[in-house]
Chain A
């Protein structure tokens, strides 16, 4: 019995080592011949914010469908990795994609703290990293890199638009609440950069585990501001709106937001999101052909509308495609890829935009509002353009010129 098992084990091991050797040969071959475009996609696919990661993956897959799953004439291979919303895990996954998968591009990245931790392994190995959401101020400024591009925004830009809107509304006193991490600090600094009234209070909450905002809401009420401004992405935005209403503040103090209400959170926020304005660089009803095709096909493939997260991931796929096509599939030509990406020569679903010297978009920002359709479902629509061709405030600190 024991002998028999031993024999089997020996044979199995031999078979396994042959299979492994074969796999290594197969894996090594395309890297040498560059017969496919390898893209790593680091995003959150587990936990309460997995819904964001899934939206981005769905949009990215739709973009690949639209491209015939080819870039230039090369087939595309995507490796999805879950960062669990943790900077250390995100860095490990990025290192793995660079060192053992030898990807040509890495994209995804919802969270600024994850992106900041992951930037170095990517750019040090001269692997292009295209952020499809996070835009920390550090990367727009001193950490800017020839290998980094954004298809979203620098964190401060969206709140700058909201600050401008608060001025237009004549809000004299404002109370700020946001999470205490890289993006939270940028999102509160951004609104302060353009808002001309008085900031009567500023609260930072523990991130991401603090979801009970009772102490902060009590302080906001006591400060008696004309308006409250918040940044809470994903599930935390659902909790914030719920608790804001439970505390009776929704009828008392108007709420102005960035990244609180979107298509991933609306199914849970429902009526709570009505009358809560937000700023965004993309809204599902923007009237350009690329966007109409994207939104319609996304709806028919996934039975619900895309969010701005998905729109940015869709753009990331198309930006990468425009670069691969421009260099005729010669993926070793990194200067060629960079020059092509700097042109942003692809049909972006937000409409045409340019890149600044730090590879962040110079783009428009819109005011969006929640609408309830007669069938009881909720959606977002564009109200007006708040800022035209807005550039981030950190590009002067970026030494890169082109």
Chain B
């Protein structure tokens, strides 16, 4: 039972990390109607900035804050320079343009930081574990990821649903021209929104960095999962992204942990191990296919937000 609980925590932690990435993606896709494949590159840049600034300042928290600011500024510059010309065009042009940005950022990182990748060491105080229950020790850092992600989720919900800025963002999504006609600078709004998305991606990247390595292309695998999350959750919905991300995280982790054992009850050990692994990596895609078939708008369509 403790094992199930521990695996649920693992799934929750992975899901919330996915949420940070998916939140930025769903805001940009749902509200600005821009398909941004380069979101994974911003995740990577966040991790590289964090590794650099942490080494430079000697402080994990200070380095992380500097990395967030740097990626926010990078996102704003990127929106002004590269993405504005894409708004009026169709989604295929978005995909081509932002795919080009992925190649650009990968090459940029190779030139600036070299091909080998970096590590972001944790301060000793976070490299420990705490006993949640007797017999259930859990890494402190993973608990911190869960806490930070939940705070960010609450902040985003408040920002989009309860503030004037959030109201403008939602209004801009419904009718761009009308908001503009009412004297609101919608272009500035979109620039800020894209910067926010970039900072969220950077936060995911820099929090993942001490668990994984900081390397070129690190955002590409996880970006696919983030797209799955926003499709399941409903494009443009922060709440949908949160629920779908946690769901995907749990399905992925629990499937990986328990499916091979479950199949072992019916099959031989080697067959169960092989099939279990294959099925557990397919599970989330099966889930997405089911959602698309039954509720093509996603679990939390934007209209009913």
Q: Which residues of A contact B10 (CB under 8 A)?
A: 214-215, 218
Do A243 and B139 form a contact, CB below 8 Å, given A204-B277, A206-B281?
yes
Do A46 and B115 form a contact, CB below 8 Å, given A214-B142, A246-B127?
yes
Do A51 and B116 form a contact, CB below 8 Å, given A202-B273, A211-B212, A222-B3?
yes
CA distance A258 to B195 in the complex (A): 45
CB of B128 within 8 A of CB of A246, answer yes
Contact with B along A32-56 (1 / 0, CB 8 A): 0000000000000111101100100
Do A45 and B213 form a contact, CB below 8 Å, given A209-B221, A218-B10, A246-B141?
no
Partner of A247, one of B2, B7, B13, B137: B137
Is the C-beta of A238 less than 8 angstroms from some C-beta in chain B?
yes
CA distance A218 to B122 in the complex (A): 21
Smallest CB gap from B269: residue in A: A202
CB of A246 within 8 A of CB of B213, answer no
CB of B116 within 8 A of CB of A215, answer no
CA distance A45 to B117 in the complex (A): 11
Is the C-beta of A88 less than 8 angstroms from some C-beta in chain B?
no
CB proximity to B under 8 Å, residues A13-67: 45-48, 50-51, 54
CA distance A221 to B217 in the complex (A): 32
A-B residue pair count with CB separations less than 8 angstroms: 89
CB of B273 within 8 A of CB of A248, answer no
CB of B115 within 8 A of CB of A45, answer yes
Contact with B along A358-383 (1 / 0, CB 8 A): 00000000000000000000000000
CB proximity to B under 8 Å, residues A196-226: 202, 204, 206, 209, 211-212, 214-215, 218-219, 221-222
CB of B117 within 8 A of CB of A48, answer yes
Do A238 and B257 form a contact, CB below 8 Å, given A246-B139, A248-B128?
no
Q: Report how many residues on chain B are interfacial, defined by Cβ distance under 8 Å.
A: 36
CB of B215 within 8 A of CB of A47, answer yes
Q: Which residues of B contact A50 (CB under 8 A)?
A: 115-117
CA distance A204 to B277 in the complex (A): 8
CB proximity to A under 8 Å, residues B267-281: 273, 277, 281
Partner of B6, one of A209, A218, A243, A246: A218
CB of B7 within 8 A of CB of A218, answer yes
Do A48 and B256 form a contact, CB below 8 Å, given A212-B14, A215-B7?
no
CB of B253 within 8 A of CB of A46, answer no
CB of A46 within 8 A of CB of B216, answer yes
Q: Which residues of A contact B142 (CB under 8 A)?
A: 214, 246
CA distance A212 to B119 in the complex (A): 14
Q: Which residues of A contact B256 (CB under 8 A)?
A: 215
Is the C-beta of B129 less than 8 angstroms from some C-beta in chain A?
yes
Is the C-beta of B188 less than 8 angstroms from some C-beta in chain A?
no
Is the C-beta of B211 less than 8 angstroms from some C-beta in chain A?
yes
Q: Which residues of B contact A47 (CB under 8 A)?
A: 115-117, 215-217
Q: Which residues of A contact B110 (CB under 8 A)?
A: 46
CB of A238 within 8 A of CB of B213, answer yes
20 A-B pairs within 8 Å (CB atoms) are namely A46-B110, A46-B116, A46-B216, A47-B215, A48-B117, A50-B116, A211-B212, A211-B213, A214-B10, A214-B253, A215-B253, A215-B256, A218-B7, A219-B3, A221-B3, A222-B2, A222-B6, A238-B213, A246-B128, A246-B139
Interface of B with A (CB < 8 Å)?
2-3, 6-7, 10, 13-14, 110, 115-117, 119, 122, 127-129, 137-142, 210-213, 215-217, 221, 253, 256-257, 273, 277, 281
